[in-house]
């Protein structure tokens, strides 16, 4: 019985792989359809509001990055020139 099952699995491993691939694609399509449905339900206003919030977050991060870059540049200047901080 076990030998028959093992030999069937060895001979039909392609079917197992095909089943896994089909399951994966089905899960992806369902997830994508759920996202589309949610976007259609909430509407474009919600999407625009989310995009504006992301733009604000990006702006804050860019400002923080610029400030950090200036601080690092100052530290590098002090360390390479051996000068005292102002």
Residue 9 token pair: 């699995």
Domain boundaries, the chain: 1-42, 44-86
Q: What is the largest CA-CA distance in the chain?
A: 84
Residue 69 token pair: 């870059």
29 half-sphere exposure, CB direction, 13 A CA radius: 6
Q: Could you read off the pLDDT of 46-57 as tens digits, one per residue?
A: 778 888 999 999
Q: Could you read off the pLDDT of 31-82 as tens digits, one per residue?
A: 999 988 887 787 777 778 888 999 999 999 999 999 999 999 998 988 888 6
């Amino acid at each position: 019985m076990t030998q028959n099952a093992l030999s069937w699995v060895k001979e039909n491993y392609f079917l197992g792989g095909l089943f896994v691939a089909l399951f994966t694609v089905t899960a992806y399509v369902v997830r994508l359809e759920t996202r589309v449905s949610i976007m259609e339900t909430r509407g474009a206003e919600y999407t625009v509001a989310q995009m504006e919030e992301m733009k604000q977050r990006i702006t804050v991060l860019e400002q923080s990055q610029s400030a950090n870059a200036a601080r690092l540049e100052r530290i590098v200047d002090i360390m390479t020139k051996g000068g005292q901080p102002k």
